Structure 1
């Protein structure tokens, strides 16, 4: 099966709702997950296609650390607060099955209202590329 490498890095706006931060932290920080059943979070999943188009109710949680395909990159995700306003910085590198391409758009669509860009209000948030191609597709919000 073909794969896509997805690399994302962005800041969250100061007024990002705590519910959005909670979901992202649950996705990214494994130690925050329910130890009995990680696919049963202590919150209701958002009413958004990124979560609702998930037939097994598990793909949303695997999005940040999939390792499909022949990429040399190692899946990694992190999220932390920094700066004078304690803004959140999010960084995700993941290797998804090519059938998940739409999930990348859905993920960014869910977060678009809360993303302040990669820095200084820039719209660029990352890229994805096919397994056997060197030219990336630039992702903007």
Structure 2
């Protein structure tokens, strides 16, 4: 308000008509009322710094929590992988023994057949 009076006095001192002076002062007041003062800016700066600090702390907590969750998930998946590998190794051993049994089941009759053939061929039965 003090600045408005000073502006009004300055304009009237240069012989500006009273009506125009009032219009200029009112227009100036309308423009100036939304301007921020140094204290307003300082308060806003402090508020922003506090908000940034608070958000940074929240972000660090979230990062820590997600790190714990990630480690837990990786550990769990590692255990599942080891379990799957063990199961596959067991299945591989079973398949190995099955091939051995199949080989024996095929080779024993083949050997007997070969022995019988040679026996007939050599002994002339």
For the pair shown, which has the larger CA radius of gyration, 1 or 2? 2
- Point out the structure with the larger strand share: 1
Q: Give the alignment's TM-score, normalised by structure 2.
A: 0.15
Q: TM-score w.r.t. structure 1 length?
A: 0.14
